[in-house]
Structure 1
Amino acid sequence: MDSTAGDDTAFVRFENVQKSYDGEALVVKNLNLDIAQGEFLTMLGPSGSGKTTCLMMLAGFETATHGNIFLDGEKIDNTAPHKRGIGMVFQNYALFPHMSVAENLAFPLEVRKINRSEIKSRVQRVLDMVELGDLGDRMPAQLSGGQQQRVAVARALVFEPSLVLMDEPLGALDKNLREQMQYEIKHIHEQLGVTVVYVTHDQSEALTMSNRIAVFEDGVVQQLASPTELYEHPKNAFVAAFIGENNKLIGTVTEANNGTCTVQLDNGDVIKASAVNIDGVGSKTTLSLRPERVMVIPEKDMPDHMENVFEAEVLELIYLGDHIRTRVRVCGDDEFIVKVPNTGAGHHLAKGRRIDVGWSVADCHALDAS
């Protein structure tokens, strides 16, 4: 799949890149991907989808079986990793345990023969940036996991690289600290304007941090777009299911025209949807619908724009503070989720109660049947 941004000013470019470890199966299949200077691009996908392999080829730790990789217009396929001038942040921090924090940060500068006074000022500058300005004399073992990860980020930035690669850097942190670090890395990126290529399997992390996200599956970029575009307009059933929560209904297309279609489900219910990725009348399709786009409709209060309305039975209610996660039986599906906003008044939902639920054509996407 061609995933290029379509211009000749790409800072990072993958050109027809393939990777095989055994000479037969391709882990990465014909990747064409352009990354702009200053962009924060996330490679997102499940384990084995090819995203980490792409990062390792860019870093120089793996070699492409076919194709070329360019950095700032220069082909880097035969350039040693340490000569690519790339900062790296890994999940396991990879700090030297026998060196202090300041010594860890000074190391990449000493290797580059930077003078001593410049090293001292740069180390202090990045320590202040990650809010560890007074911990330079500490040893890594004396720091918390979050502090160690901050040092790892600082070490990747201290020699002022034009490109920083991050491989699941927050995977070892607890939920609250992980969320805090997401915002910190995002703010550092905005402050410095450095190009970041980030790998994760966590879709909420990708949505929070990225300018664009490349969704990988089976060695192919399934969709490359902004977080908003991916969530609101998934191009296929895999992306719809992988990015955010998603109700999935399977049916057959009975009509299609002017960008909309009519779909008959196996239980006989008929739904009108936006035709995004269908094969035409008579073909199977997966309907994708976000739980927060489904409305519980008060009796005798039918919104004008609600083209799809069905009676549902409440099976389960989970109170989550800002909303009530409501599982209902509707359209032959017992796992259909509705996120009902907690407005205080509520709809007096109760297990076993029958309610009307509805959604618009625009919010219901007819996608491929896979």
Structure 2
Amino acid sequence: MSQTQGTQPFVLFDNVQKSYDGITLVVKSFNLGIDKGEFITLLGPSGSGKTTCLMMLAGFETATHGDIFLDGRSINNIPPHKRGIGMVFQNYALFPHMTVAENLAFPLEVRGFSKAEREDKVRKVLDMVQMDKFGGRRPAQLSGGQQQRIALARALVFEPSLVLMDEPLGALDKQLREHMQFEIKHLHEKLGITVVYVTHDQSEALTMSDRIAVFNDGIVQQLAKPADLYERPTNAFVAQFIGENNKLKGRVKTLTGDTALVEFADGQQAEALAVNCKGVGQPTLCSIRPERVRIGSQASLYATEGQVIELIYLGDHIRCRMSVYGDDSFIVKIPNAGDGTMLSVGQTIKVGWDKNDCRALDA
């Protein structure tokens, strides 16, 4: 990712707020810099403010407070069609009475390209999304996946430097959705465009993004690379929203450097990495990924005992629900190594993990 000319990022949200009624802030003091060529995802549950931020960048919503800059200039007062931004929506938004080629030529016509230029660009972009034989068809004659490819092509046809995507794969089935994730990512890498992508699907965000901004209640909870977000969540919301997580409620007994000694509901104690806990005597939530837990002879130096409550066979792994530290919803993912490792419901077994994989967060 290259930094743009000077010190200012290519896209900059500077202390942006949005309210629809003058009282409730849907977006609260949003600050974000996006480098040229970066693929950044705004991720969060419905109503968290992510789509509102995208619509303010597109120009379909106006910021109540703050500035939005594109390539060094404020775009607050520039109408959407003059911002030079490509858009892809979940519902495709293709003109039903036009052929595929006419749909793709339309944004070029609006921008004053000649007929020969339009035909050349449409041919190139159809080839790029592997739809070169479909120019003469109407949208109704295409499958959902084909329509989404055309919607993507229309956003790219006038070669914008910035493309915004709002839940673009939401209407597709799982297999096609996963296929399109890789296609979009490969197109991004090939063309070097800047992409701002909105989704509530965490696996989609992890697969595609250079960085992810996790939203909740109008605030960015954490902005980081996918691996950092997954491995090192800074608060309980991010830990539970990104991937599956065990959440053990406890109270901080002692704090020594970056280590918290935590006491759990059943009176047992364990060490955790002190990431975001309020202090000695305060409640905390210890977060541990199910795949980081080891059982039996593989349990690491730090260990306790757990009782097996439920076993579910999922092909590549076995999902084991256990009672650990008085919590009956503790999950362990056991890789299916095909060695016949068998557990049984009711069995008590050693359970362990590395201290650094257990993060003491806000309660």
TM-score normalised per structure 1: 0.95
1:288-330 deviations in Å (ceiling 9; x for gaps): 00000001123xx654xx32x1211111111111111111111
Residue 307 of structure 2 is matched in structure 1 by 313
Residue 149 of structure 1 is matched in structure 2 by 148
Residue 230 of structure 2 is matched in structure 1 by 231
CA distance in 2 between partners of 1:42 and 1:331 (Å): 36
Q: CA deviation at 1:346?
A: 4.1
Residue 287 of structure 1 is matched in structure 2 by 286
Which letter does structure 2 place at the counterpart of 1:272?
E
CA distance in 2 between partners of 1:64 and 1:134 (Å): 42
Conserved 8 A contact 2:28-2:219: yes
Residue 117 of structure 1 is matched in structure 2 by 116
Conserved 8 A contact 2:40-2:210: yes
SS of equivalent to 2:355: coil
Residue 77 of structure 1 is matched in structure 2 by 76
CA distance in 1 between partners of 2:108 and 2:309 (Å): 61
Deviates more, 1:133-142 or 1:39-48: 133-142
Residue 185 of structure 1 is matched in structure 2 by 184
Residue 363 of structure 1 is matched in structure 2 by 357
CA distance in 1 between partners of 2:8 and 2:185 (Å): 24
Aligned length: 359
Residue 95 of structure 1 is matched in structure 2 by 94
SS of equivalent to 2:15: strand
SS of equivalent to 1:155: helix
1:113-146 deviations in Å (ceiling 9; x for gaps): 1111111111111111111111111111111100
Q: CA deviation at 1:107?
A: 0.6
Matches of residues 39-50 of structure 1 in structure 2 within 5 Å? Answer: 39-50=38-49
Matches of residues 321-332 of structure 1 in structure 2 within 5 Å? Answer: 321-332=315-326
Residue 350 of structure 1 is matched in structure 2 by 344
CA distance in 2 between partners of 1:88 and 1:145 (Å): 17
CA distance in 1 between partners of 2:345 and 2:263 (Å): 28
CA distance in 2 between partners of 1:302 and 1:138 (Å): 60
Conserved 8 A contact 2:41-2:209: yes
CA distance in 2 between partners of 1:259 and 1:167 (Å): 39
SS of equivalent to 2:295: strand
Which letter does structure 2 place at the counterpart of 1:216?
F
Residue 252 of structure 1 is matched in structure 2 by 251
SS of equivalent to 1:362: helix
CA distance in 2 between partners of 1:64 and 1:206 (Å): 25
What stretches of structure 1 of length at least 5 have no aligned partner? none
TM-score normalised per structure 2: 0.97
What stretches of structure 2 of length at least 5 have no aligned partner? none
CA distance in 1 between partners of 2:99 and 2:299 (Å): 66
1:347-369 deviations in Å (ceiling 9; x for gaps): 31122222211111010000011
Which letter does structure 1 place at the counterpart of 2:56?
M
CA distance in 2 between partners of 1:59 and 1:321 (Å): 43
Which letter does structure 2 place at the counterpart of 1:144?
S
CA distance in 1 between partners of 2:122 and 2:349 (Å): 61
1:138-160 deviations in Å (ceiling 9; x for gaps): 11111110000000000000000
Matches of residues 4-43 of structure 1 in structure 2 within 5 Å? Answer: 8-43=7-42
Residue 260 of structure 2 is matched in structure 1 by 261
Which structure 1 residue ranges, 4+ long, deviate > 2 Å from structure 2?
none
Residue 335 of structure 2 is matched in structure 1 by 341
Q: CA deviation at 1:35?
A: 0.5
